[in-house]
DNA sequence: CGGGACCTTGACGCTCATCAATTGCAGTGG
DNA sequence: CCACTGCAATTGATGAGCGTCAAGGTCCCG
C-alpha cells in the first residue's frame, strides 16, 4: 500500500484514463494518492451484489470480470465483460445502488478505492472527471451495440462480433497480443453474453472453425482471418471509442 | 427566446434534474441562461445522425424520440425511447461522435442547447453536473435491463416489461396520467425495440389483450391489470432509479 | 372515393432451445 | 499409476418460438 505500489497497480487504469483525456502530473498524483486496497480474487467470486450501494469502486488490474442479471426463469444475461483497466461501480459514484451482480470470470487482481475518495478526485481534478465521464459513456455505447447485436443479428454474426470486440479490447492494453488471445469464458458463459444456449454456442463456434475463421481450444481463441471475421460480425470498432493516439495498425496481422 | 420562455420550456428538464439532485437558485439560473433554440419537429424527422459530433444537445420538451442503430441486413434496433424531459447527446458533451441515429416518433418540441454552453454549466454548477451524471447512469441502467429483456426473455415477457416501463415513465412527468397512456409506436417500431417482427408483436399484443391484461387501440394503451402485467413482465422498477421524492402511490390504480 | 399506412391473420419453415447421452480432460485421492 | 469425480465440450434428435411470405382488412387523409 505504499504510493509506489499503488502507482504500479493503478497503471492500467491511469493509462486508460490518460488515453481518454490528457492528465497532468497533479492529476496522476491525485490518483496515486487514493487509499486503495489491493486484493486477489478467485474465479467465480462475487464482487458486487445487485442493489448494494458500493462503498468501494473496483478497478480490475488483472483478469476478467463480468456483470450480469438474473431473470425469473433462472436465465442469466451477462451485460458487460471487464478487463484490465476497467472500472466497476460508476453508479456508486452517484450514490445509486448496483444495477447488476458482478462476478469474476478468472482469478483476478483488483483494487478497491473508497467511493467517496474517488468522487473527491473527480471533483477536484476536472481532467480526471472528464476522462471518467468519457469512460462511462463508452461503456454505455457498448451496451447499445450489444443491444443491436442481440436484438437483430443471428447467432453466427453475434459470435463473430463479440470475438472481434474482445480481441481488439485485449490488444488495447496488451500491445504484444497476437491474433491469439485468452478467452476465459465457458461456452455457457458465452451464451449468457449473446443470449444463446451453450449448445448453440458450441455449434456456432464449430461453424466458424469449419470456415477457418477461428481456431478455438481450451480457453485460447485464435482469429485466423480478421477481415473475414469482422465482415461476418459486421464489426466496426467506432463504438468502442478507441483513442486515436493508440496504434491500431497491425489489426489484421495474423501469424499465430 | 426570452429568459422566461426558456424557463418554461426547460421546466421538464429542470424538474427531472432537480428530482435527481437538489438544485439551488443559482443552479436553476445557470440552466435558464442557456442560449437554447426551441424547435418544432414533425414525426419521423432525423435529429442526429450516427457519427456526427453534435454542436447541440437536444432536450425533449414534448413528444417522443427514439435512438436506433441499423444492422447490415437492413434490420433496425431501437436502443432508447426518449420522452418529455429526456436529454439527447450525452456523448457530445465528452466530444464523442453520436453512437446512434436519433429520430422523432411523433411530432415534438425540442430545445437545442449548444454543447459547449451546457458543458460549461456542468463544470460551474457541480450540482447540475451531479444530476446529469446520475441521469446518464440511469440511462445506462436501462440499456442493461433491455439487454436482459431481449437476450433472455420471451416475446410475451418482453412486451409486458416494456409496457410497464413506458407506462411508469409517463406517469413520472404526467401526474394525471391514468392506466391509459399514449403509445405512439407502430407495431413495427415496437418490434424494433424488442427484437421482434411486427407480425409477432401483433400476436403478442393480441395475446395480452385476450388475457385481459391490456387494451390497445389506435396508439392508446390501457393497462387493465397492472399487478398481473408487471408479474408477466418480471417488472421491477429499481433500474429506473425513480427518485424517492416522487409519489409512486397509485401505481396499481386502474380506472380507465 | 382512392391511396397509403398500419393492422390482422393464416400457412409454412427455419433458427435456435431443449433434452439427453457421450466424450474428453484436469484434479484428487488411493 | 490408475480409478474416481466433476465440469466443460460435443453431438444427435426433436420441437417450440418466432420469422417470413402473402393476402386481406381498417382507418385516415387528401
Residue with cell 426473455: B153
Q: What is the pLDDT of residue A250?
A: 43
* Candidates B81, B145, B151, B231, partner chain A, best to mutate (most A CBs within 10 A): B151
| pLDDT tens string A72-125 | 999 999 999 999 999 999 999 999 999 999 999 999 999 999 999 999 999 999
Stretch A151-168: mean pLDDT, rounded?
Answer: 98
C-alpha cell of residue B1: 427566446
Cβ–Cβ pairs < 8 A, chains A and B:
124
| pLDDT tens string A197-245 | 999 999 999 999 999 999 998 889 999 999 999 999 999 999 999 987 6
pLDDT over 60 (residue A247): no
Residues of B in contact with A151 (CB under 8 A): 77, 150, 194-195
Q: Are A233 and A164 in contact (CB under 8 A)?
A: yes
The answer to whether the CB atoms of B69 and A146 lie below 8 A apart is no
Residues of B in contact with A141 (CB under 8 A): 91, 96, 99
Q: How many CB atoms lie within 10 A of CB A9?
A: 19
- Encode chain B (256 residues) as per-residue pLDDT tens digits: 444 566 678 999 999 999 999 999 999 999 999 999 999 999 999 999 999 998 999 999 999 999 999 999 999 999 999 999 999 999 999 999 999 999 999 999 999 999 999 999 999 999 999 999 999 999 999 999 999 999 999 999 999 999 999 999 999 988 877 788 999 999 999 999 999 999 999 999 999 999 999 999 888 999 999 999 999 999 999 999 998 765 554 444 444 3
CA-nearest residue of chain B to A144? B79
C-alpha cell of residue A6: 499503488
Between CA A232 and C1' D23 the distance (Å) reads 35
CA–CA distance, A209 with A204 (Å, rounded to integer):
9
Q: Where does residue B63 rank: exposed (0-12), middle (13-18), buried (19+ CB within 10 A)?
A: buried
Between CA B198 and C1' D22 the distance (Å) reads 15
C-alpha cell of residue B74: 437492413
Q: What is the pLDDT of residue B176?
A: 77
User: What stretch of H or E contains B69?
Assistant: strand B65-70
CA–CA distance, B147 with B126 (Å, rounded to integer):
31
- CA of A216, closest CA in chain B: separation in Å? 24
Q: What is the pLDDT of residue B252?
A: 43
| Interstrand relation of B56-62 and A220-223 (parallel, antiparallel or unpaired) | unpaired
For A157, B61, B64, B86, B193, the CA distances from B106, given in Å and listed in that order, are: 33, 12, 6, 15, 16
Q: What is the pLDDT of residue A100?
A: 96
CA–CA distance, A178 with B192 (Å, rounded to integer):
37
* Residue in B77, B97, B130 nearest the CB of A147: B77
Which residues lie closer than 8 Å to B203 by C-beta, 6 or more apart?
none
User: Chain-wide mean pLDDT for chain A?
Assistant: 92
Question: At how many degrees (to 10) do helices B25-32 and B3-20 cross?
Answer: 130
Residue with cell 453512437: B99
Which residues lie closer than 8 Å to A74 by C-beta, 6 or more apart?
none
- Which nucleotide minimizes the distance between its C1' and the CA of B153? D17
The answer to whether the CB atoms of A148 and B69 lie below 8 A apart is yes
CA–CA distance, B230 with B162 (Å, rounded to integer):
10
pLDDT over 90 (residue A173): no
For A170, A252, B52, B68, B150, the CA distances from A78, given in Å and listed in that order, are: 18, 28, 30, 22, 12
- CA of A160, closest CA in chain B: separation in Å? 14
Q: What is the pLDDT of residue A2?
A: 45
Q: What residue ranges in chain A does DSSP mark as E strands?
A: 37-41, 46-48, 56-62, 65-70, 76-82, 87-88, 101-104, 108-114, 180-182, 214-217, 220-223
Question: At how many degrees (to 10) do helices B198-210 and B187-194 cross?
Answer: 100
Q: What is the pLDDT of residue B175?
A: 80
The answer to whether the CB atoms of A151 and B77 lie below 8 A apart is yes
Q: What is the pLDDT of residue B243?
A: 85
CA–CA distance, B118 with B95 (Å, rounded to integer):
13
Residues of A in contact with B77 (CB under 8 A): 147-148, 151-152
Q: Are B41 and B109 in contact (CB under 8 A)?
A: yes
Q: What is the pLDDT of residue B5?
A: 60
Residues of B in contact with A93 (CB under 8 A): 133
Residues of A in contact with B141 (CB under 8 A): 91, 96, 99
pTM, full prediction: 0.94
Q: Where does residue B249 rank: exposed (0-12), middle (13-18), buried (19+ CB within 10 A)?
A: exposed
Q: Are B167 and B214 in contact (CB under 8 A)?
A: no
* Residue in B136, B194, B241 nearest the CB of A136: B136
**Which region, left, alpha or beta, applies to residue B75 given φ > 0 means left and ψ of -120 to 50 means alpha?**
beta
* Residue in B91, B143, B157 nearest the CB of A143: B143
Nearest residue by alpha-carbon distance to C1' of D19: B197
- CA of B37, closest CA in chain A: separation in Å? 25
- The nucleotides of chain D lying under 7 Å from a protein CB are 7-13, 17-22, 27-28
CA-nearest residue of chain A to B72? A234
CA-nearest residue of chain A to B70? A148
Amino acid at each position: 500500500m505504499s504510493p509506489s505500489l499503488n502507482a504500479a497497480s493503478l497503471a492500467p487504469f491511469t493509462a486508460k484514463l490518460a488515453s481518454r483525456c490528457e492528465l497532468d502530473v497533479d492529476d496522476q498524483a491525485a490518483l496515486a494518492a487514493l487509499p486503495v486496497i489491493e486484493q486477489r480474487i478467485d474465479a467465480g467470486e462475487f464482487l458486487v451484489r445487485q442493489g448494494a450501494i458500493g462503498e468501494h469502486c473496483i478497478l480490475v488490474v488483472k483478469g476478467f470480470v463480468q456483470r450480469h442479471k438474473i431473470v425469473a426463469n433462472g436465465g442469466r444475461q451477462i451485460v458487460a465483460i471487464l478487463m484490465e483497466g476497467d472500472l466497476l461501480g460508476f453508479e456508486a459514484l452517484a450514490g445509486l445502488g448496483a444495477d447488476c451482480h458482478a462476478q469474476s470470470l478468472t482469478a483476478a487482481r483488483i483494487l478497491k478505492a473508497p467511493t467517496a475518495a474517488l468522487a473527491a478526485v473527480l471533483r477536484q481534478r476536472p481532467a480526471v472527471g472528464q476522462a471518467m465521464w468519457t469512460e462511462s459513456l463508452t461503456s454505455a455505447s457498448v451496451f447499445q451495440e450489444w443491444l443491436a447485436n442481440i436484438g437483430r443479428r443471428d447467432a453466427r454474426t453475434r459470435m463473430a462480433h463479440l470475438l472481434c470486440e474482445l480481441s481488439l479490447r485485449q490488444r488495447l492494453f496488451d500491445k504484444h497480443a497476437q491474433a491469439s488471445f485468452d478467452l476465459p469464458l465457458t461456452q455457457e458463459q458465452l451464451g449468457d453474453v449473446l443470449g444463446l444456449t451453450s449448445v448453440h454456442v458450441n455449434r456456432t463456434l464449430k461453424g466458424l472453425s469449419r470456415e477457418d475463421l477461428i481456431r478455438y481450444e481450451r480457453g485460447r481463441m485464435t482469429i485466423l482471418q480478421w477481415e473475414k471475421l469482422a465482415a461476418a460480425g459486421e464489426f466496426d470498432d467506432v463504438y468502442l471509442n478507441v483513442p486515436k493516439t493508440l496504434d491500431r495498425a497491425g489489426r489484421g496481422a495474423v501469424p499465430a
